[in-house]
Every structure is written in C-alpha cells, then in structure tokens.
Structure 1
Amino acid sequence: MTSPDPSRPRRRLPVATVAGALLALTLFVGTAAAHGGSLGASGRESISVPTWLLLLTGGGAVGASFLLSSFVTDRLLVRQIHGWGRDAVVPGRRVAVRVGQIVGLAGLAVVLVVGFLGPTAALANLGLLLVWVGWWAGFTMTTYLVGNAWPVVNPWRTLTSAVPTLDRPYPERLGAWPSVVGLLALIWLEVVSPLADDPRLLATVVVGYSAFTLAGAVVFGPDRWFGSVDPVARVFRYYGRVAPLTRDDETGRLRLRLPGSALTDARLVDGLDEVAFVVALVWVTTYDGLVATPLWREFARGVVGLGVPPVVLYPAALVVGYLAFFGAYWLAAVGARRLADTYVSPAVLARRFAPPLLAIAAGYHLAHYLEYFVSLAPAALSVLLTPLAGPASGEVAVAVIPGWFGALNMSFVLLGHLLAIWVAHAAAFDRFPGRLQAVRSQYTFTFVMVCYTMTSLWIVSRPSVTPPFL
C-alpha cells in the first residue's frame, strides 16, 4: 500500500517538451527504405516510405495503445487475462529431455569439428551456419514464440551435470552483474571481429567459452552458474517468459498462458543488477542493427578520420549507448515516482517495470533475424549432408526475400512494443491500489517505450551495410 505525500507538490508531465522531442526525432531523418532485418542479404527491392510518417505512426500506435489500455480496461479484466492458464502435458517427457540433451551435445560437436576442419567459406560451413542461423536466429525465435528449451538443450549444462562439482558459495554481491558484462562483451566481439564469417575463429571462441563456462559451473555448481553468471542462459530464460509455454515457479509444471502473461510475475526481475541485464538485452540488439546502418558508417568514418581508432570507437559506442539506455530508463523510474505521488522508491519501480522491456527485445529480435533465418536456412540445408566438404553442387542456395517482408518486420517491432505497454499496464495495476495512481505511474515509462519504438523502427527501416574498419 502506498500513500500520497501531501507535503510534496504534484509534478505534471511536461507535455509540450515530450511532443517537441518526438517531433524533433522525426525531423532529422529523411526517407526510409523499408527493407526489414539489417542482417538480411536478399536482393529484393525496397519500398520507399517517408521516415517521419513511419516513426510518427509507430510512436502514435504505442501511445494510443497506452490510452486504450488505461481507460478501457479495469483491474478485474487485467486479472482475468493474466490469470488464465492451463497445465501443459508433454508426452514422453523423459525421452524428450534425453533427445534434447543429445541434440545439444551433437550441435556443439558439429560446431567444433566442422568449424576447424570444414570449408573456410562462411556460407559453406555447417558449423558457422548452425550457430548463427540455426541457434542464434532460429532457436532464439522459438524461445519467445513457443517456450524456453535451453535448460535441456544446453550442452555445457549437460556436461557439468554428469561430473562432480565443488559447489563453492557464489559471491552474492556480484549478483547478475557478471552476466551483464558478459552479454556486452559477447556482442562487442560479434560486431568488431569476423566471428560471423570465419569458421575457424568461431570454433576457437566456442572452445574458450566452453572452457570458461565448464570451469565456472564445476566450481559454483551448474544451477548457480547458469542461474546467475552465464549471459546466454539468462537471455534464454528472460526470452522464455515472453512465450506462451512457461514453467510455474511454485509447482515446476509447464503452463500454457497468453503470450507475455508471465512477464507480470513480481519476482521475475529482482534487483538493480537484473534490471541492468534487461536494459542491456534491449540495447545490444539495437546496437547490432545500428552499426550496420549507413548513418553509422558515415559517422564512424568521420570519427576515425579525427584519429580515434576503431578498436576504441566500437566499444566506446557500445558502453555509451548502454549507459544512455539505462539512464533513460532510470529517469523514467524517477519520473514515475513523482507522477504517481508515491513513497515507492525508483529502484522498486525500475524492477517492477523492467519485464515489459523483454517484449520489446523479443519483437526487435524477430524483426532483426526472421529475414536472416529465412534467407540463409536453405544454405544450411544444402551443406547438411556433406558438412566437411561443403555443398555437393559447389553452389550455396540462398532464398530471395520478397519486398513485403519489410512491412512484416515493422509489424514485429510494433507488436513487441504494444505487448510491452499492456504488460506495464498490468504491472502498474498490480503495484498500485488506485486506478489513477497506476495510470500516472506509466507516463514516463510509456514515453521511453515510444522513444525505443521510434529508434527500433528507424534502424529496421535503414538499408543494411557492412560496418567500416572491421
């Protein structure tokens, strides 16, 4: 329960400032070539759309969804929607778990063997395609669209569960911060190195990651390591909360719920360190697309021309951009406390409203990688039968993506943000007893989500180019 403080003057949202900021964002850009995911390599034609119209439409849709959810729904309806669920029965569960573990171990073996011994051409190497197309694109999409199967498929967890562990106490003060640093480091390595094109380098990185992960899991135990430290396991665990098929924390049973319903669980994000990871997950996907835009290419060339080496520019941009994203989110939490006129601290509000950002991350990942997956899946299939020699015909098949895929990618971004608005609305009703207080607490978070929406739409609408100096 929270009570207003009569001694503190009420603060009103600076509507003119917010509107001016949104308008400024749309005036400093030109015409968008709507093409979809920035990693796509298709040769389809682009559909020219005025960028100001694209961004205003997307931002307006998110803002309108906030108004609709705030003034049309009530607490009872929200409780009924998020309380709906059915127990999911998985026939042959033990067999399915065993098959998943075998698939994970086999996949790791393929990445290492084919990565070191297979063809050096990127599109002819099954190990490289398996990592980027099959795992990071395809498997990740199933995690937030269906459910999180990574605890079963994870080959490193399977290996450590079969050997004795030391189970040393994990330093509680570290919390999830190692996973935040690990996620940023992995994305930085992906961007600044030819990791997506060099099978030998990729296999070497996997060996190093495997050694580090196995050592940590043996020292601290697999449950603690993959629950707190490993960034990959945390990414999949958070993405899995967006999916309709989730595991009940109390009973351990699989539950079928409406997509995003599990994001309203109060203890999903429990600490500032976990808030930092959620924001990092949103930012790294944005950063991955941003460095492939023509605007970044021109900016990077200008900065390097001034004497700043790329080895400094790219990690600096990664850190500065992350701090900007985190700072904007923290300011939203501070503003929410003032507008809601509550004693609840900004840290508590930051934790409560962080899970909706996972829906944004999932929507942008889908827009970023679906085209990539569809275009390169035939290449993976063509080298499947002859992994060490490459395709039998000597040619790698790549699907041609139709132009309407660009509009589809835009819709994924919007759907992710609309789901985030709804989840934030449900979280506000759960946190505050009064309707007006719950609605007012969402103003600043909605503004931040609108800015995230417009940024994501702008990146997705840009042509994809090769980042310079890499």
Structure 2
Amino acid sequence: MTRVRRLVSIVVALVLATGTVSAHGAALRESAGSLSIPTWLFLATGGGVVGASFLLATFATDRTFVRRSHDHARVLAAVPRVLRAVVAPLVGLLGLLAVLAFGFGAAVDVAPADPQQNLAILLVWVGWWAGYVMSLYLVGNTWPALDPFRTIARALPSLDREYPGHWGAWPAVVGLLALVFVEVALPLAEDPGLLAAAVAGYGALTVTGAVTFGVDDWFATADPVARAFDHYGRVAPLARTDDGVVLRMPGAGLVDATGETGRRADGPSASDADATAGGPFADAGGVAFVVALVFATTYDGFVATPAWRSIAEAVHAPGVPGVLVYAIAYALGYLAFVAVYRWAARSGRRTGDTFVAVDELARRFAPPLLAIAAGYHLAHYLGFFVSLSLPLASALAAPTAPPAPQLFVLPSFFGGIAITAILVGHLLAVWVAHAIGFELFPERLQAVRAQYAFVAVMIAYTTLSLWIVSQPTVTPPFL
C-alpha cells in the first residue's frame, strides 16, 4: 500500500509539472469561473468513487456475469446504404469545402474574420472537435462515412504499395502528437486563413498516404484522426455489425478490441486493423497511441489554469522562449504518461504473479483508458459546445454576414455534469479493466491483483481531472 500511495503522488506531481494548452477554447470563449464545490471534495470523492467501484466490481461480480453483460447485443435497425455511401460522404465534402472557403475567404476579406463569426473556425472547433467528437463515444463512430479525405482518396487511383508492417501504429502516434502541438503553437482559433491552410496541409498528407498504401490500410493504421475516432467509437453503446446497428453495453467494444480473434463488433468504427490478431492494440505503437490520446485530453485543460500560468511565467522569466516552454513540458508530460503506464504493466505482472509478458499486459489493459479520455472530453467540451452553439447556428444560417455573437449562458448545474462525466468515464474504465482481467487470467484473485497498479493510476488521473475542471479558466501565456 505504501508503494501505491507513493505512485499516486508521483503521477499527480508529474502531470502537474507538464504543460498543455487549449488554444481554440481560449480564443473562442471568455474566462470561466471555477465550480462552487470545494476542491477537496472533488478530489476525495473522485478517488474514493473509483476505488470503491473497483472493490464493488471485485466482490459483486463473477466471470459468467461479466461475459454475459458484454456479449449481449440487441439489433435495432439496418443502416441504409444510400446514407452511408452517398449522403454522409457528401456532407463531409461540403463541410470541408466550407472550412476552406470561409477560412481562406477571411484572409481576403470576403468572409468574417472574427473567430466567433467565422464559419470555418466555428465549424472546426465547435461543431466538429467539440460537438461531433462527443457523438462518437455516445452513439458510435460515423467518421469512416463522413471523412472527406477518405472519400477523396477512394476516388483517386491507388499505387497499392504494401504498408510497412514494422511501422505499425507509430505514424499515427507521431501524427497525433504533432497535430496537438501545432494546435498549441499556432493561433488556429484566431486566424481563419491559417486554420484553412492547416486543414489543407493535413488533407494533402493523409490523401497522399492513402493513395500510396491503400485507403483501408492507411486509415485503419496510420491516420491519427481516423484512429482516434475509431477508439472513441468503441466506448459507445451503439455498434454497426453485419446484422445492422446493435445496442450493447457501453465499453463492450473496448473489451472486444483486446481479443485475439479480431471480432468486428465495435460499431461503425470497425477498422480493418481488427482483421489481424490483437486488433488495433496489437503492437507497442497501438498502446502508445492510446496513452497519447489520454495525454491530449489533459492537454486541453491544464495550461488554461492559474497553476500553469505561474509555472510557465517562472520558467520563462530567465529568457526561455515561450514556445520552448510549452514544447519541453509537452514532451516531458507525454514521456511521464508513458513511463507511469509501463510501471503499471510491470507492477501488474508482479502483483498478479503471472508469466504474461509486460508488453501483453500493457496491450490488454490499454483500451480502458479510452473511457477515461471520453469522460474527460465530455466534461471539458460540453459547456464549450453549448455556450458557442448560438454563434455556430448563426454562422450556418448566414455564413457571409452573421449577426453579432451571443454566447449561451450556462446554468449552474453544468458543473455537476462535468463532474459526473469524469466519474462515469473512470467507472466504465474500471469495469472494462475488470472484464479484461477475467478474460486474461484463469483465477479470480489473480485477475484482481493484476489490476492494482492500473486502478491506482486511474485514481490519480481522476483526481487530476477533477482538479482541472474545478479551476477557473485563464488565457494561456505567451501564445
């Protein structure tokens, strides 16, 4: 227990020592007030709920109950082919054209330049990154049908080169980390033209990759956005299978994703990578991508807090460039997340008294982290989406001349929604880890003991997440 308590303290300290920023959030909305619930109550309640849920799952469930709950699925309806093959791709292409037109249009004064009036900025940050991403883990991944770059790549001739197997998911890891840092370093939420250029550049790169290595291989393995959305879709209670849309237990797709048979019952996000043993988490790159995705969810919150402002100003004072401050903290933060997760895998092997390799434990227990990422995303962006829904609606109704922006004033109970989203995400992560432990280990006690370190990390992350949402939002310095 002493080691576990020490680990929790180390995790929190490492995370708080790293820096991240929400450039689009700071540019689009005013500083938000802190929640009225005392901070100590956030932290104590969050950690206690996660720990208690682990004990409850341990003593109140058995292997048969867990397996039945995840295997049960009810067919709801079939998805019309015209919707998947015609309507959704057309909507995605129209959205891309709108972003490019109104982004570049603002640069030549034919579209509004105000971030709260420009359709490109509102569509990307409010409609897509906030609103649409929430739909992925709530109702399933529809991005394969909507993705305009996938649609464009399918219409082009392919070079049909074999995707290098040793690359694995590492291009997606590098791509995700690069995209997040570009969001930090560049004012993409303030300059519509710069945003349009970034979208065009990303599109050119991903279409080139898809044309070179094939659409299925590229988007299933190497494209960071497609892979991230696939992972979020596995959290959802809805899935698209060969039988149609089915209703299942939330997180069931996360359990399926770790299996050796590559079952394809994880929703519209069902990736071609599942055809291989181990699914999308078969290699170290797949695990590193999950950790990067979890790190990115924290990234959008911490640097908009007063604590980060104080740390960044202290480091910047001797003359360290502001961007370098963010870059160093960004790199150290991600490495700290990776190191802590690897520690959990090594500790799980020891406490579980198992011959299962550390890499295998890391692979099998990575998917539960996606439920944590989804819960934090909902907590961080629900209020952002609702408050800016009026400017988005106005820009959609009159894109060339929208009225003066008016933000929707959030009611006080939104603070409770944020807390609930974080806790539900962590509770779901504990349950999924419990189910995976039962699948992996033959003995009940062994399955439970192997999870100790992973649950300790979840408790630490719960505490950090609740602390972030309890802080007032401030403008990140130097950017």
Please give the TM-score of this superposition, normalised by the length of structure 2: 0.89
Query: Which residue does 2:2 correspond to in 1?
Result: 16
Query: Among residues 413, 416, 430, which one is paired with 1:404 in the alignment?
Result: 413
**Partner in structure 2 of residue 365 of structure 1:** 377
User: In structure 2, do the counterparts of structure 1 residues 200 and 44 end up closer, same or farther at CA, with 3 Å as the change threshold?
Assistant: closer
In the alignment, what sits opposite 1:427? Answer: 436
26 and 91 in structure 1: CA distance in 2 versus 1, 3 angstrom threshold: closer
298, 313, 329: which is aligned to 1:286?
298
Q: What per-residue deviation string (whole Å, max 9, x for no partner) do you get for residues 207-233 of structure 1?
A: 111111111111111111111111000
Q: Which amino acid aligns with 1:255?
A: V
Alignment check: 8 A CA contact 1:379 1:397 kept: yes
SS at match of 1:165: coil
Helix, strand or coil at the partner of 2:37: strand
Q: Which among 202, 205, 230 is matched to residue 198 of structure 2?
A: 205
Pick aligned residue for 1:258 from 228, 236, 249? 249
Q: Aligned partners of 2:67, 2:412: CA distance in 1, in Å?
A: 41
Deviation at 1:285, TM superposition (A): 1.2
How many Å separate the matches in 1 of 2:153 and 2:84? 19
2: distance between equivalents of 1:157 and 1:192?
27
Q: CA deviation at 1:170?
A: 1.3
Question: 375, 388, 392: which one pairs with 2:400?
Answer: 388
Distance in 2 between residues matched to 1:95 and 1:421, nearest whole Å: 36
Q: Does the residue aligned with 1:384 lie in a helix, a strand or coil?
A: helix
Taking a change above 3 Å as real, the CA distance of residues 26 and 211 of structure 1, as seen in their structure-2 partners, is closer
- Deviations 1:196-251, CA, capped at 9 Å, x for gaps: 12111100111111111111111111111111111000010000000112244xx5
Pick from 55, 59, 62 the counterpart of residue 71 of structure 1.
59
Q: Secondary structure at the match of 1:87?
A: strand
Q: How many residues align structurally? A: 444
Asked whether the 8 Å contact 1:38–1:464 carries over to 2, the reply is: no
Q: Indicate how the Cα distance of structure 1 residues 401 and 43 shifts in structure 2: closer, same or farther if over 3 A, else same.
A: farther
Name the SS for the 2:431 alignment partner: helix
Per-residue displacement from partner, 1:5-43 (whole Å, max 9, x unpaired)?
Answer: xxxxxxxxxx1343466579999x9xxxxxxx9768367
Q: CA RMSD in A?
A: 2.1
Structure-to-structure mapping, 1:145-156, within 5 angstroms: 145-156=138-149
- State the alpha-carbon separation in 2 of the partners of residues 23 and 166 from structure 1: 51
**CA shift for structure 1 position 311:** 2.2
Matching residue within 467, 470, 473 for 1:458: 467
Partner of 1:196: 189
Work out whether residues 138 and 373 of structure 1, in 8 Å CA contact, stay in contact via their aligned partners in 2.
yes
Label 1:79 to 1:280 Cα distance change in 2 as closer, same or farther (>3 A): same
Describe how 1:167-316 pairs up with structure 2 within 5 A.
Answer: 167-248=160-241, 251=242, 253-265=244-256, 266=259, 267-268=278-279, 269-316=281-328
- 1:62-93 Cα shifts (integer Å, max 9, x gaps): 00000000011111110110111023423533
1:106 equivalent in structure 2: 94
1:166 to 134, 159, 164: 159
Check 1:24–1:354 CA distance in 2 against 1; reply closer, same or farther (3 A cut).
closer
Residue of structure 2 aligned with 1:137, choices 107, 113, 130: 130
Q: Does the 8 A contact of 1:363 with 1:412 survive in 2?
A: yes
CA gap 1:183/1:222 in 2 versus in 1, 3 angstroms: same
Which residue matches 2:367? Answer: 355
Q: Is this contact kept in 1: 2:255–2:435, CA < 8 A? A: yes
Spell out, residue by residue over 1:130-151, the C-alpha distance to the aligned partner (whole angstroms, 9 max, x if none).
0011111111000110010000
Structure 1: distance between partners of 2:117 and 2:12: 42
Contact 2:4 2:453 in 1 (8 A): no
Q: Deviations over 1:295-349 (max 9, x none)?
A: 1011111101122212211121111101111111110000000011110011000
Residues 31, 474 of structure 2: 8 Å contact kept: no
Take 1:314 and 1:181, find their aligned partners in 2: how far apart are those partners?
Answer: 17
SS state at 1:327 partner: helix
Q: Is the 8 A contact 2:35 2:470 kept in 1?
A: no
Seen in structure 2, the aligned counterparts of structure 1 residues 38 and 293 have a Cα distance that, compared at 3 Å, is farther
2: CA distance between counterparts of 1:97 and 1:58?
44
**Structure 1 residues 20 and 178 mapped into 2: Cα distance closer, same or farther (>3 Å)?**
closer
SS of aligned partner of 1:354: coil
Change in Cα spacing, 1:23 to 1:174, as seen in structure 2 (3 Å) is: closer
1:89 aligns to 2:77 (yes or no): yes
> Residue by residue, what CA displacement relative to the aligned partner does 1:107-135 show, whole Å, maximum 9, x if unpaired?
00000001111111101101110001111
- Aligned equivalents of 1:415, 1:62: Cα separation in 2: 9
Partners of 1:286 and 1:323 lie apart in 2 by 14
Whole-angstrom CA distance in 2 between matches of 1:44 and 1:303: 25
Unpaired runs of 5+ residues, structure 1, are: 1-14, 30-36
Q: 1:85–1:255: 8 Å Cα contact kept in structure 2?
A: yes
- Rounded Cα–Cα distance in structure 2 between residues aligned with 1:43 and 1:215: 40
- Evaluate the alpha carbon distance shift between residue 167 and residue 145 of structure 1 in structure 2; reply closer, same or farther with a 3 A threshold: same
Q: Are residue 332 (structure 1) and residue 344 (structure 2) matched?
A: yes
User: What amino acid does structure 2 have at the position aligned with 1:16?
Assistant: T
Q: Distance in 1 between matches of 2:193 and 2:471?
A: 31
CA shift at 1:462, angstroms?
1.0
TM-superposed CA distance for 1:407, in Å, is 1.6
Question: d(CA) in 1 for partners of 2:384 and 2:445?
Answer: 44
2:108 aligned residue: none
Give the TM-score, by structure 1 length.
0.90
Amino-acid identity (%)? 54
